[in-house]
Amino acid sequence: MTKIKKIILIHAVEIAIDPIKDAFQSLWPEAELAHIWDESLSIERAKYDTLPPVLFERVNRLVQLAMATNPDAIMFTCSAFGEAIERANELVDIPVLKPNQAMFERALSLSTSIGMVGSFAPAIAGMENEFYQSAATLNPTAQVTSICLPAARDALNNNDVELHNTLCLEGAQTLQEQNVIMLAHFSSSYAKHTLERSTGKVVLSSPHSAVEYLKNLLEPT
């Protein structure tokens, strides 16, 4: 009998929680999930253009807290802490996933002209850097064009998913030359079906990509 895999999810914003829970329920319902939520992380991150040392340390402490429960993997659901997650991953012997690494790999396998629609400005530059780090080995000619829509994030914080999706679609429609569109944040995944229907393009969401990647990593067929 296959051992049930235990995944610790670390959140910095409430709006990322339901999308990743839904992705697991749809793609890997057998996984055992536990959640750590530190809302102050995103509040502090918004104060800086780049990650300060104190947030590297806080991310590492969260990973160590998760490790105390003996998980099979740890997944962060906020896209603004990539460098700190990479650093923490070097100190443990289980996978510690950045939110977007699986989505980036999937996009790079499909196209050299990729768009990204996001809503949290402090995360975008770091995500672009991570994208090009992946592209350097997977698809060196690939380019990403990003659109940031803070009003879409505000809409989700006000529980207005319809407005969020409309704003994301408006942003995606400006990406005329890009044939693959990535939804930057876990919370952005609410707009996936709207963009697929209206643009006819391949639309990738980070929670679905991450769950598929992690399942294949821990339970290869």
* Bridge partner list, 37: 11
Domain shared by 73 and 116, yes or no: no
pLDDT of amino acid 111: 97
170-202: pLDDT as tens digits: 999 999 999 999 999 999 999 999 999 999 999
10 phi/psi in degrees, rounded to 5: -110, 120
Domain count, the chain: 2
Write out the E strands in the chain: 6-11, 32-37, 73-76, 96-97, 113-118, 143-148, 180-183, 202-205
104-125: pLDDT as tens digits: 999 999 999 999 999 998 889 8
In a domain, 173, yes or no: yes
Domain shared by 116 and 58, yes or no: no
pLDDT of amino acid 3: 86
Domain shared by 71 and 120, yes or no: no
Q: List, as one string, the DSSP characters of 162-176.
A: HHHHHHHHHHHTT--
pLDDT of amino acid 1: 58
Domain shared by 201 and 107, yes or no: yes
In a domain, 1, yes or no: no
In a domain, 63, yes or no: yes
Domain shared by 28 and 69, yes or no: yes
73-99: pLDDT as tens digits: 999 998 889 889 999 999 999 999 998
Whole-model pTM? 0.87
Of 44, 26, 51, the C-alpha closest to 207 is 26
Domain shared by 93 and 146, yes or no: no
In a domain, 90, yes or no: yes
Q: Which domain holds residue 74?
A: 6-98+208-218
Domain shared by 107 and 190, yes or no: yes
pLDDT of amino acid 78: 86
Domain shared by 22 and 34, yes or no: yes
- Measured CA to CA, the distance from residue 153 to residue 42 in angstroms comes to 13
Domain shared by 120 and 191, yes or no: yes
- Give the CATH number for residue 75: 3.40.50.1860
